[in-house]
Amino acid sequence: MEYIRYCPKCGGKKVYKSLDSFRANKNSLLCRKCARKEVFSKLYPNKIEKLLDDTPETYYWIGYLLADGHFYENRIKFTQNGLDKISVEKFKTYLEVSCDVKNNSKLDSFEFSIMNVDIVPKIKTKFDIRENKTYCPPDKKIFEDMDIDLLAYLFIGFVDGDGHIANLHNRPDYNLRIKVHSSWCDVLNICIERLFGLSNYVKLNNQGYADVTIGDSQILKQFKRKYFENITFEPLHRKWDVINLDYVGKYEQAKITFEKVKELYEQNYPVKDICKILNLKEGLVYKDIKKIKK
């Protein structure tokens, strides 16, 4: 004769072969699987379910993990080295993880992993993340349909993982560059077009990598102003601080000057007056007027 009890958490059936074993386990109502989860959650408390939230910080970390994280069946591992080790501590704090960060002094790296048999598969399903994501990125439709503001924060996280922002050689101008496996070309093109208005901007280089460089300081400043003004978390300062919101490059200054000349010209100001108001040489003003007339 069999004695049956149902797990109050998952509804799973527990079968006992004898009445003695049934009575002996009366205080253990959970099935073995749920009991293990409960013990694990008490030993290693965390809030990994935050990675299912539709918030800017969650999407930032998803972008960072898409670039530098490792996804397994029920586990996520995050490793950073050098100056970016601080990101591991920040990620751990965000998820309220109790486990220690591993410090590898030989590789100058920090890492920690987090496991959850329920939540990790849901994260992978929501964002279509595969274990071999380097060569198999998520379905591009996810990025096409994603809320554009959340996409921006995901992109910021991706840049912190796989991007590069730096000044040009001996110049205060700067650019943003991403170079990843060719399989990411379509995804990056969607991101760049939706966020910066640049179509088919990502190209395959001679080595077969998807390569994109955004060198328009005006576009980069607009992006930073929009998405960093009220941000409640800290992306990597060493990258995004390079984008100096007060700097005006010669190409940006030329655009600004052109718009001012156009405004005055369309108000029928004489060329000499335009030169005097804007403190410009006649040659430059005539050059801009020629563009206006085209």
Q: How many residues does the chain have?
A: 294
Name which of 185, 178, 179, 176 is nearest 137 in CA terms.
185
pLDDT in tens, 192-229: 999 999 999 999 998 989 999 999 888 999 999 999 99
Q: Are residues 28 and 67 in the same domain?
A: no
Domain assignment present for residue 39? The answer is: no
Domain assignment present for residue 207? The answer is: yes
Q: What sign has the CA pseudo-torsion 70, 76, 81, 86?
A: positive
pLDDT confidence of residue 5 = 77
Q: Are residues 134 and 176 in the same domain?
A: yes
Which position has the token pair 């085209």? 294
Q: Are residues 147 and 89 in the same domain?
A: yes
Q: Are residues 222 and 287 in the same domain?
A: no
Residues 139, 159, 166, CA angle at the centre, nearest 5°? 145
Cα 76 to Cα 124: distance, rounded to the nearest angstrom = 10
Name which of 131, 19, 26, 121 is nearest 70 in CA terms.
131
Total domain count for the chain? Answer: 3
pLDDT in tens, 79-133: 998 889 899 999 999 999 877 788 888 888 899 889 888 899 999 999 999 999 9
Q: Are residues 15 and 112 in the same domain?
A: no
pLDDT in tens, 65-80: 999 999 999 999 999 9
Q: Are residues 29 and 173 in the same domain?
A: no
pLDDT confidence of residue 192 = 97
DSSP string for residues in 236-262: -HHHHTTS-TT---HHHHHHHHHHHHH
Q: Are residues 17 and 118 in the same domain?
A: no
pLDDT confidence of residue 126 = 98
CA-to-CA separations, 245 to 13, 93, 160, in angstroms, rounded: 62, 29, 19
Q: Are residues 65 and 202 in the same domain?
A: yes
The CATH number of residue 78's host domain is 3.10.28.10
**Host domain of residue 73:** 48-240
DSSP string for residues in 137-150: PPPHHHHHHS-HHH
Task: Mark which of 216, 240, 264 sits at the end of a domain.
Answer: 240
Mean pLDDT value across residues 162-173: 90
Which residues share a beta bridge with 104? 109
pLDDT in tens, 129-141: 999 999 999 999 9
